[in-house]
Chains A and B, each alone.
Chain A
Amino acid sequence: KNQVEQSPQSLIILEGKNCTLQCNYTVSPFSNLRWYKQDTGRGPVSLTIMTFSENTKSNGRYTATLDADTKQSSLHITASQLSDSASYICVVTHARAYKYIFGTGTRLKVLA
């Protein structure tokens, strides 16, 4: 079954600290993996996309990694800011079904 699982479900950190969010998937065949940031009451916004051949991608303080062999991805946030408080959603695209498969997200709260 094609699934995307994220951990942890929620996370609280202090401003300035780093954190890492995890995404494991069983989608096959795999096309690409995206991380989205969703602020409360808003639609998701894309942070990074990685294809099979890419194992790291950065967007400012956000760095995503992908291990296609173990089917794992992580999103690392460096020097967190209050504005990083949001849900982070991992989305894997199935290569043949043209289908986006969503994880349930990690809710991050950054405290001052």
Chain B
Amino acid sequence: DVKVTQSSRYLVKRTGEKVFLECVQDMDHENMFWYRQDPGLGLRLIYFSYDVKMKEKGDIPEGYSVSREKKERFSLILESASTNQTSMYLCASSLLWTSGRASYEQYFGPGTRLTVT
């Protein structure tokens, strides 16, 4: 079974703090993703990575950065947390897409509910 774990289920931080969210997968997947999920907006892609040290901006990268130093680990960094970054953060992984086969299932972690006060 694929397992995607996230470092914290719940996190409370103060405005201006630097926040690290960690995600680890154990299935040797090339792709890893960070999403945020807000009521009425669905999942929105922040960043994704298709290889170690590689990253691509998603739809809402502003205020976030990522790091992928090892294949199994993908970190999301909030450089200076703000209240509008209060949200549920979901990490996912999948096999690498190949031409004509973007059908690989994404496996999600349990999520981190971040509150910024």
Binding site for B on A (CB under 8 A): 31-32, 34, 41-46, 49, 51, 89, 91, 93-95, 98-100, 102-105
A43 touches B102 (CB 8 A): no
Total A-B Cβ pairs within 8 A? 49
Residues on B facing A (Cβ under 8 Å) = 4, 9, 40-45, 90, 92, 97, 100, 102-103, 105-106, 108-111, 113
| Contact in complex: A104, B108 (CB < 8 Å) | no
Q: Name 14 extra pairs, CB < 8 A, besides A34-B105, A44-B108, A99-B45.
A: A31-B103, A42-B110, A42-B111, A43-B110, A46-B105, A46-B106, A49-B105, A51-B103, A89-B43, A91-B106, A95-B102, A98-B97, A102-B43, A103-B42
> Is the contact region of chain B dominated by helix, strand, or loop, or is it mixed?
loop
Contacts of A105 in B (CB 8 A): 42
By CB atoms of chain B within 10 A, which of A43, A49, A95, A102 has the most? A43
Inter-chain contacts of A34 with B (CB < 8 A): 105
Asked if B4 contacts A49 (CB within 8 A), the reply is: no
